[in-house]
Structure 1
Amino acid sequence: MNTKQSKITELNEKQLHALANIDIGKAAVLFTTPFCGTCKVALKMLEIVAETNVPYHLYQANINFTPFFREHWQIKSIPALVIIENGSIAKTIYAMRSVADLYEQLT
């Protein structure tokens, strides 16, 4: 039996609104869809990076159920990793090249 807890929290739009309205320091939100193969690979890479205890709160959101943020944050394609620092978007990453690259972006 696998009892391992993911370090990446899945959020719905209401939870994402709450997150956007508080200052939690550094956060990263990976936008995906369930049937996107590239998204699954990006999520797996982010899960590996999460094991290194990067200084970011890590989240995942289904872009189909977060239309406000898709428009407000101008997300152009998926997967998209939105990096938030001090309540503002620091950058959006669309190309998840490797675990090492994601680690560098988040450290």
Structure 2
Amino acid sequence: MLQDISEEELKIRWEQAGSREAVLFYTPLCGTCKLAERMLEIVLEAGGTIPVSKININYAPELTQDWKISSVPALIIFQAGFLVQKEYALHSVVDLQQWLKP
């Protein structure tokens, strides 16, 4: 299950992450976000992925603006303070498995 994190916790992870991590930006009423979350849970259950968490975009206004998140769901992959990948179209579990390989 994906763990919700706060904006402050994500800022700390952003600065301190030595290895790649991913975060899903979502809103609770977004149907596509729920589908993306379910696909991510399937990938995580299979194992062999980088750490993934989620954040409600409504509670992360600063990061949403700084990272130019234009819509949800948005999957952000980062490492050591650098944005590695930003994806809005989460089409399949296979795509997610590729993106989230360690």
TM (norm. structure 1) is: 0.88
Amino acid at match of 2:5: L
Q: CA contact under 8 A between 1:25 and 1:87: conserved in structure 2?
A: no
CA distance in 1, matches of 2:12, 2:46: 26
Aligned to 1:56: 50
Aligned to 1:38: 32
Kindly provide the CA deviation profile for residues 12-71 of structure 1, in whole angstroms up to 9, marking residues without a partner as x. 112112212212411000000000000000000001111122331101000010011101
Structure 2 alignment gaps of length 5 or more: none
TM (norm. structure 2) is: 0.92
SS for the counterpart of 1:48 is helix
CA distance in 2, matches of 1:105, 1:79: 15
Percent identical pairs in the alignment equals 39
Higher helix share: 2
| 1:87 positional shift | 2.7
| 1:106 positional shift | 1.4
| Aligned ranges 1:75-94 → 2 under 5 Å | 75-94=69-88
Aligned to 1:27: 21
Q: CA contact under 8 A between 1:29 and 1:58: conserved in structure 2?
A: yes
CA distance in 2, matches of 1:89, 1:46: 19
Structure 1 alignment gaps of length 5 or more: 1-5
Aligned to 1:96: 90
